[in-house]
């Protein structure tokens, strides 16, 4: 018998792509199906063969797995891209300055070129695309270069600028609508006279001996750091609060690293302690976490458990004696209330032009933003001071965290996610200061605009997974963070400081007059309504807000990408000013306390000598310090860019654009030379 020479088993009959998958069904009614790939179930099959539901489900799962893998790859790509951008920004955090310089050099070059073209009679400024000459009309090589520039500008440069300007204008209009809605809400509150009210007299009691039990236990905290100018007036105001002494404890939380200031604050605390005030001085050896770490350390004391509420005042705040009686009663019979916030008022608002402009912004913030959000949403950002917290709300929300420089906004967001409600009292005002120098104001604004973006990155997952209503999540993400903290500085800087001057050199992308004049003036008018005495400053206010967009945009980018400056805390410089009426009232209150209280324990000889030494040191004539003007390069560079663009606008006879660019450029120049506000010592 001949040997078998069948080699068909040595190789596969048909090569198949992919890995075969055998699915074994537990149900004996189904057959075993071999699937070559995710699309095998959707290939044409014989009509006699029935469709398998389990098979289709499995294939759909395979498709979903592949889709999820694709989405994950795209997400990882964009995450890596953001990481690369972040690294670039870390190595060169002044990238915005480089871009502005490039724009300035380019604009100067184009301006010189077009001035030459204007002098030669090549007037293609109104609508260059309609007046580009034919090839037979070229008058020379320079004319050819100019005509080529016109064509390239119209075909390649103008379209992206137009697209970006339309995007920024859309954001501008959305933000303007938000401001208008807030203003209408404020008008409605005033028209209906809506405000939180206290029912009856919560402290009235027929039992005289037991009347003290009507007052809850209140803890007052004064965090400070090297506050030589204002520590005395803040401690004095807090110690004169009208509240039973046995139901009140004052904590002076001193983070000063200057020993002379520590001694002065200790002496002030000892003075009020001898007058019968329950006051404690605390100093941390390790100053971590800035203000949040200071408050967290103070709340960890065992005796804090005996208190129900905590009031917080920064070192320059001077509450009236009836502050607690106007705020704490709102918590009664309102177990869901976590925070009562009072309004700020400023003792130095008329000191100079800078303080007047700040007063406009802060009046709108408190009377419109905070009041409207408090009435209609029961939520707003805690201002960090001049407020009373329910200690239970702080504890259930995780307490003070040191992860950002806006610990006040952080605890407010977490408390809101836990279901706590807030109340804003527009009628209860606490006296304080605004920065008088541009350097101090600039650092304050950097912290106030970088911190929220840093916080947004951290708390976004918690907002999405929280159990609050969907509309509250949308309000937090879209309005509270994105629109008012990210979009506002982005479009303000991009539209008015970059796109507008560029459009002078690219007339095809020219912005309409209503964008640069009518709408901004109307929005400035709305912002000034809460402080009607500031109407003469409407034009300086509009120009200065555009100038500050440079600092706010830089801070927003720093917080969004977690750059080094996003976790930088600089204590705002104070002047220690008080109005004459406040000084007289404070002296009168102190004299009454001295007459009513008898010092039961005297001081030792060492304490008396130390107090006398510190008093003499404080009353000694201060050494005169020379005040200098700082130079701000970004503002100066943008000033020259805007002034260059204003000169270019003269060539095309653009009246409104010229005046806006001229005045805006002069404003940048004044700010860049530090000619607004007090100079730094």
Q: Is 255 a catalytic residue?
A: yes
- Helix or strand (DSSP H, E) at 158: helix 158-192
Identified catalytic residue from 254, 314, 316, 408? 408
Quick check: is 333 catalytic? no
Q: Pick from 142, 136, 278, 145: which is nearest to 219 by CA?
A: 278
Q: What does residue 613 show for φ and ψ, rounded to 5 degrees?
A: -65, -45
Residue 277's CB is within 10 A of a number of other CB atoms, namely: 20
Spatial separation of the C-alpha atoms in residues 76 and 534, rounded to whole Å? 51
Q: Which of 363, 449, 379, 387 is nearest to 412 (CA)?
A: 379
Alpha carbons 527 and 177: distance in angstroms, whole number = 13
Dihedral over Cα of 293, 294, 296, 300: its sign: positive
What phi and psi values does residue 510 have, to the nearest 5 degrees?
-60, 135
Maximal C-alpha separation, the chain: 134
Would you tell me how many other CB atoms lie within 10 Å of the CB of residue 47?
A: 6
Scored b (16 or more CB within 10 A) or e, 210-240 reads eeeebbbbbbbbbbbbebbebbbbbbbbbbb
Answer whether 446's CB lies under 8 Å from 565's CB: yes
Structure token digits, residue 564: 């080094």
Place of tokens 């408390």: 415
Q: With the CA atoms of 650, 656, 662 and 663 taken in that order, what torsion angle do they form, in degrees rounded to the nearest 10?
A: 170
Tokens of 643: 């002034």
DSSP track, 629-656: ----HHHHHHHHHHHHHHHHHHHTT-HH
* CA dihedral for 397, 399, 402, 406, sign (positive or negative): positive
CB 508 within 8 A of CB 162: yes
Asked whether the beta carbons of 314 and 224 are under 8 A apart, the reply is yes
Which residue among 255, 314, 316, 410 is the active-site one? 255
> Rounded to 5 degrees, what are φ and ψ at 349?
-65, -25
Catalytic residue set: 255, 408
């Amino acid at each position: 018998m001949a040997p078998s020479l069948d080699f068909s088993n040595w190789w596969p009959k048909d090569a198949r792509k992919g890995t075969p998958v055998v699915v074994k069904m537990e149900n004996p009614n189904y057959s075993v199906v071999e699937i070559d790939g995710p699309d095998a179930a959707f290939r044409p099959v014989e009509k006699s063969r029935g469709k398998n539901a389990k098979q289709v489900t499995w294939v759909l799962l395979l498709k979903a797995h592949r889709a999820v893998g694709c989405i994950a790859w795209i997400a990882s790509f964009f995450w890596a891209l953001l990481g690369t951008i972040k690294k670039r920004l870390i190595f060169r955090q002044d990238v915005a300055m480089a871009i502005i310089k490039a724009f300035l050099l380019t604009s100067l070059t184009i301006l010189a070129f077009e001035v030459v073209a204007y002098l030669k009679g090549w007037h293609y400024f109104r609508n260059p695309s309609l007046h580009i000459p034919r090839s037979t009309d070229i008058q020379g090589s320079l004319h050819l270069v100019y005509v080529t520039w016109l064509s390239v500008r119209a075909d390649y440069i103008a379209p992206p600028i137009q697209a970006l300007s339309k995007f920024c204008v859309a954001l501008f209009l959305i933000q303007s609508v938000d401001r208008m809605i807030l203003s209408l809400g404020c008008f409605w509150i005033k028209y209906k006279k809506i405000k939180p009210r206290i029912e009856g007299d919560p402290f009235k009691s027929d039992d005289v001996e037991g009347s003290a039990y009507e007052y809850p236990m209140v803890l007052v905290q004064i965090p400070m750091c090297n506050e030589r100018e204002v520590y005395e007036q803040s401690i004095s105001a807090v110690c004169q609060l009208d509240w039973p002494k046995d139901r009140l404890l004052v904590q002076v939380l001193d983070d000063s690293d200057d020993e002379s200031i520590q001694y002065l604050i200790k002496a002030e605390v000892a003075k009020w302690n001898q007058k019968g005030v329950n006051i404690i001085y605390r100093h941390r050896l390790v100053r971590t976490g800035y203000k949040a770490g200071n408050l967290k350390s103070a709340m960890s004391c065992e005796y804090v458990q005996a208190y129900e509420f905590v009031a917080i005042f920064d070192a320059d705040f001077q509450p009236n004696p009836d502050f607690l009686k106007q705020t704490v009663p709102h918590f009664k019979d309102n177990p869901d209330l976590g925070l009562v916030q009072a309004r700020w008022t400023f003792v130095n608002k008329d000191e100079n032009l800078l303080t007047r402009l700040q007063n406009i912004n802060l009046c709108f913030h408190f009377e419109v933003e905070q009041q409207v959000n408090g009435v209609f949403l029961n939520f707003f950002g805690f201002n960090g001071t001049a407020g009373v917290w329910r200690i239970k709300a702080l504890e259930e929300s995780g307490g003070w965290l040191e992860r950002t420089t806006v610990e006040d906004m952080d605890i407010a967001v977490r408390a809101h996610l836990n279901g706590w409600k807030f109340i804003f009292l527009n009628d209860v005002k606490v006296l304080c200061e605004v920065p008088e120098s541009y350097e101090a104001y600039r650092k304050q604004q950097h912290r106030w605009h970088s911190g929220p973006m840093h916080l947004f990155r951290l708390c976004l997952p918690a907002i999405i997974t929280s159990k609050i209503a969907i509309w509250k999540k949308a309000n937090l993400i879209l309005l509270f963070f994105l629109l008012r903290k990210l979009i506002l500085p982005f479009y303000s800087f991009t539209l008015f400081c970059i796109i507008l001057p560029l459009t002078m050199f690219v007339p095809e992308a020219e912005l309409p007059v209503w964008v640069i004049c009518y709408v901004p003036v109307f929005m400035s008018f709305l912002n000034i309504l809460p402080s009607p005495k500031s109407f003469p400053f409407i034009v300086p206010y509009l120009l200065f807000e555009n100038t500050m967009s440079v600092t706010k945009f830089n801070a927003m980018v720093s917080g969004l990408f977690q750059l080094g400056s996003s976790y930088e805390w600089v204590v705002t410089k104070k002047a220690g000013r008080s109005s004459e009426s406040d000084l007289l009232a404070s002296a009168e209150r102190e004299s009454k306390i001295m007459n009513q209280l008898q010092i039961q324990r005297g001081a030792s000889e060492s304490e008396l000598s130390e107090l006398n030494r510190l008093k003499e040191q404080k009353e000694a004539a201060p050494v005169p310090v020379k005040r200098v003007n700082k130079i701000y390069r970004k503002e100066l560079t943008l000033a020259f860019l805007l002034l260059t663009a204003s000169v270019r606008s003269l060539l095309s006879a653009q009246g409104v654009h010229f005046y806006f660019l001229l005045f805006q450029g002069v404003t940048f120049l004044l700010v860049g030379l530090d000619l607004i506000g007090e100079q730094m010592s």
